[in-house]
């Protein structure tokens, strides 16, 4: 399945452990991985690299996930965005639903399985 054109996934996640584990999982599947700790850094990397899919955590310090999603939608409309969140609500707002309404293509509720993640990315790439 992995051919000469490996897809590039940008992971935007503040938690290094989660970031590493995601990287390991995706690398195993042959994706090219770029990592960012927060939204601002992610946006910079987007400009430097050809990214196919952005996997982004909604809650992060600095630029919040939702804001970053909106900016990516504006600056790189071709990039697919998958949002991740650990909880359904925070401050009384269903953030995943908000993320979706902001233009994110798919949402993943933690914890999710490897298959779910890979299927999600594959679905976006298809």
The closest of 96, 97, 51, 105 to 75, measured between CA atoms, is 51
- Considering the complex, what minimum distance in angstroms separates the CB of residue 110 from another protein? 4
**Sign of the C-alpha dihedral computed for residues 33, 45, 96 and 94 taken in this order:** positive
- Considering the complex, what minimum distance in angstroms separates the CB of residue 96 from another protein? 12
- Candidate residues 67, 70, 73, 98; the one interacting with another protein per rule CB under 8 A: 67
Query: Using an 8 Å Cβ cutoff, are 105 and 76 in contact?
Result: no
Lay out the site mask for another protein across 7-46 (x = CB under 8 A, - = otherwise). --------xxxx-xxx-xx--x---------x-x------
In the complex with another protein, the residue whose CB is nearer, 61 or 77, is: 61
Beta-bridged to residue 53, according to DSSP, are 9, 80
Query: Using an 8 Å Cβ cutoff, are 53 and 106 in contact?
Result: no
* Residues of the shown chain interacting with another protein in the complex, contacts defined by CB under 8 A: 15-18, 20-22, 24-25, 28, 38, 40, 59-64, 67, 85-92, 109-114
């Amino acid at each position: 399945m992995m051919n000469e054109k490996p897809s590039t996934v940008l992971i935007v996640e503040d938690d290094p452990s989660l970031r590493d584990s995601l990287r390991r999982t995706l690398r195993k599947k042959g994706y090219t991985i770029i990592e960012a700790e927060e939204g601002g850094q992610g946006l910079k990397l987007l400009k430097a690299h050809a990214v196919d899919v952005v996997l982004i955590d909604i809650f992060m310090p600095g630029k919040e996930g939702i804001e970053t999603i909106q900016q990516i939608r504006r600056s790189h409309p071709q990039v697919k965005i998958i949002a991740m969140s650990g909880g359904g609500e925070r401050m009384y707002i269903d953030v995943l639903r908000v993320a979706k309404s902001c233009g994110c293509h798919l949402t993943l509720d933690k914890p999710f399985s490897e298959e779910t993640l890979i299927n999600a990315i594959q679905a976006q790439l298809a």
